[in-house]
Amino acid sequence: MIPKNAARTTRILAGMAAIWALLVPAYFAAAETPNSTIELVAVEGAIHDATARFVLDAVDDAARSRLPGHESQGRVELVILMIDSPGVVAEAELFAELAEMVRNPPLPLGVWVGPAPAVAFGGVAQLVSLAPIRAAAPGVEIGHWQPTLVGEAAGMPPLDGAYSGGSGTVEVDGPVPGLIDLSSSRTASPRQLLQLLDKTTLQLGGEAVTLSTTRPFVAEDGDEGVTVLQTVLRRPGLWTQLIGLSTRPEVAFFFLMAGLTVAVFEFFAVGPGVAAAVAAVSLALGAYGPATLPLRWWAFALMLGGVGLLSFSYQRGGVLLLSAAGIGTVAVSGLYLFDGAPQITLGWAGWALTVAGVAFFFLLAMPTVARVRFSAPGLGREGMVGKRGNAVTDLRPDGVVEVEGGRWKATSHRAAAVDSGDPIEVVGVEADTLEVGPADIS
């Protein structure tokens, strides 16, 4: 006979086992049930080849999640392209593929231009009008529909079926027939837009599809409510974003000038080193701008000429007139280097900072660093009189001389013809400039 306590314990254990048998499978089933998500794909800056491929791959991956056999990865209910782009610099064929995907997407897809003050110009403005869902935050600017590709007025024709509003722009503060269907205070952010789109019906592949962008929830205090589905933000990789910066005229100008000035420094510093690597990377990044943006070749030649003038001035010991001409030439070349207006225009702040940086580098930084590198330690100006050396450049009357291993700015009497390589003798010192004359070698 089983004791009462033992029987009671057996019944309790059996009940717990039954509850466990019910709860554990339910728990794992819930854990294995993939969440429905909404993907927000960031499209920022000019659309170049890498950006176009990134968007195509993102939409393709989202569509694959809806196929049989991919349930474990989670199901993407909707893709929203978040656009802030001044134009298209991608290849025509690749952009045409992107436009066709937006026009006939493999899953529910929409575009949202925002947040303010975002823009969508040129081919991007046309692309917006092709999407099944067209939304914008109040205050954004859309327009400059032509040319479709930046700088190619006679190139790619307008996209079939796209909205075209001429050469001007539209500041969106409400729906624009044929262009934007949703624009109000309820579309100022992606989250607000998703709440607005819940239960919206759209056509996808000839079939009506009803969007489900929200889900119910119960708060800790027991209150019930509705919130948007889990959202996933997708951005291009670091390299894609980095080369995308070079599609901005002021950034491309900066990279090109940084590479050229550092290359000049490395040339005068004698021998490759860290500066050579920096120059190579800067020129590689800067080259992406001329490769994608419409380049004015005469302005590019002017930029090289300006660097040449600054280099020649430095070699001559810092001739003010040559330096001023070089800086002015560089400044003008930066203003006219690219012809992407009105879609892609020059940022004035970036241009001004680049010109100021070039002036500082050639007039102050480079002479100082070179003097420190080549000067002999402990060699003071007080003991320079009577020292002998050689002219590094022609002195007419200013130039550069080398005295006991150190390079100095120097000046000579106009009547004394001193050519590069001639022996010289220091006859006086004024500030940081040596007064020299031909050395008596007899």
Q: How large is the average pLDDT for residues 260-264?
A: 91
The pLDDT > 70 percentage for the chain reads 86
**80 part of a folded domain:** yes
* pTM metric for this prediction: 0.77
- CATH at residue 127: 3.90.226.10
pLDDT band at 277 (very low <50, low <70, confident <90, very high): confident
**56 part of a folded domain:** yes
Say if residue 138 is in the same domain as residue 188.
yes
pLDDT band at 90 (very low <50, low <70, confident <90, very high): very high
Per-residue pLDDT at 372 exceeds 90: no
Q: In this structure, are residues 142 and 119 in contact, taking their beta carbons and an 8 Å threshold?
A: yes
**16 part of a folded domain:** no
How much is the pLDDT for 2?
Answer: 47
Q: How large is the average pLDDT for residues 283-300?
A: 93
Q: What angle, rounded to 10 degrees, do the helices at 320-336 and 348-360 form?
A: 160
How much is the pLDDT for 167?
Answer: 75
Q: How large is the average pLDDT for residues 148-162?
A: 83
Q: How large is the average pLDDT for residues 161-182?
A: 91
- Which residues on adjacent β-strands are paired with residue 407? 402
User: Last residue of a domain, which of 374, 398, 427?
Assistant: 374
| Pick from 334-338, 346-350, 435-439: least confident | 435-439
**22 part of a folded domain:** no
Q: How many CA atoms lie within 13 A of 252 on its CB side?
A: 28
Q: In this structure, are residues 109 and 102 in contact, taking their beta carbons and an 8 Å threshold?
A: yes
**379 part of a folded domain:** no
Per-residue pLDDT of 181-216, as tens digits, reads: 999 999 999 999 999 999 999 988 888 999 999 998
Single out the residue of 114, 147, 112 nearest to residue 128, CA to CA: 112
Say if residue 336 is in the same domain as residue 397.
no
pLDDT band at 31 (very low <50, low <70, confident <90, very high): very low
Per-residue pLDDT at 56 exceeds 80: yes
pLDDT top residue among 355 and 381: 355
Q: Which residues contact 114 (CB under 8 A, 6 or more apart)?
A: 82, 83, 84, 136, 137, 140, 187, 188, 189, 190
Strand order of the β-sheet with 75-84 is 133-136, 109-113, 75-84, 36-44, 230-234
Say if residue 128 is in the same domain as residue 160.
yes
Q: In this structure, are residues 88 and 124 in contact, taking their beta carbons and an 8 Å threshold?
A: yes
pLDDT top residue among 419 and 152: 419
User: Last residue of a domain, which of 236, 264, 295?
Assistant: 236
Say if residue 400 is in the same domain as residue 321.
no
How much is the pLDDT for 223?
Answer: 79
The rounded distance, in Å, linking the Cα atoms of 80 and 38 is: 8
Say if residue 366 is in the same domain as residue 394.
no
- Which residues on adjacent β-strands are paired with residue 225? 217
| Pick from 60-64, 356-360, 385-389: least confident | 385-389
| Pick from 235-239, 272-276, 320-324, 364-368: least confident | 272-276
**Which domain range does residue 359 map to?**
246-374
Say if residue 50 is in the same domain as residue 137.
yes
User: Last residue of a domain, which of 352, 374, 396?
Assistant: 374
Taking phi over 0 as left and psi of -120 to 50 as alpha, with beta for the rest, 279 belongs to alpha
The rounded distance, in Å, linking the Cα atoms of 298 and 281 is: 24
Per-residue pLDDT at 18 exceeds 70: no
Residue type, 403: V
pLDDT band at 54 (very low <50, low <70, confident <90, very high): very high
Phi/psi for 411 (5° steps) reads -140, 150
The rounded distance, in Å, linking the Cα atoms of 247 and 85 is: 11
Cα–Cα distances in Å, from 339 out to 224, 266, 342?
56, 31, 9
Per-residue pLDDT at 32 exceeds 50: no
Q: How large is the average pLDDT for residues 34-48?
A: 91
Q: How many CA atoms lie within 13 A of 312 on its CB side?
A: 12
Say if residue 392 is in the same domain as residue 336.
no
The rounded distance, in Å, linking the Cα atoms of 382 and 360 is: 29
Q: Which residues contact 394 (CB under 8 A, 6 or more apart)?
A: 418, 419, 420
Per-residue pLDDT at 91 exceeds 90: yes
**67 part of a folded domain:** yes
The two three-digit tokens of residue 18, written as one number? 């039954």
Q: In this structure, are residues 275 and 269 in contact, taking their beta carbons and an 8 Å threshold?
A: yes
Per-residue pLDDT at 337 exceeds 60: yes
Say if residue 140 is in the same domain as residue 203.
yes
Residue-level length of the chain: 442
How much is the pLDDT for 382?
Answer: 62
Q: How large is the average pLDDT for residues 413-426?
A: 83
Q: Which residues contact 92 (CB under 8 A, 6 or more apart)?
A: 149, 155, 156
Per-residue pLDDT at 15 exceeds 70: no
Say if residue 259 is in the same domain as residue 227.
no
pLDDT band at 246 (very low <50, low <70, confident <90, very high): very high
Say if residue 408 is in the same domain as residue 427.
yes
Say if residue 226 is in the same domain as residue 141.
yes
**19 part of a folded domain:** no
pLDDT band at 17 (very low <50, low <70, confident <90, very high): low
Q: How large is the average pLDDT for residues 232-253?
A: 93
**254 part of a folded domain:** yes
Question: What mean pLDDT value characterizes the chain?
Answer: 86
Say if residue 393 is in the same domain as residue 298.
no
Single out the residue of 117, 170, 327, 151 nearest to residue 249, CA to CA: 151
**DSSP string covering 116-162, please?**
TT-EEETHHHHHHHHSSEEEE-TT-EEE---SSSTT-TTSSPPPTT-
The two three-digit tokens of residue 196, written as one number? 């607005």
Single out the residue of 316, 405, 326, 291 nearest to residue 50, CA to CA: 291
Per-residue pLDDT at 20 exceeds 60: no
Q: How large is the average pLDDT for residues 393-398?
A: 86
Single out the residue of 337, 235, 240, 356 nearest to residue 296, CA to CA: 337
pLDDT top residue among 172 and 430: 172
Q: In this structure, are residues 89 and 150 in contact, taking their beta carbons and an 8 Å threshold?
A: yes
- CATH at residue 409: 2.40.50.140
**Count of domains observed in the chain:** 3
How much is the pLDDT for 24?
Answer: 45
Q: How large is the average pLDDT for residues 101-116?
A: 96
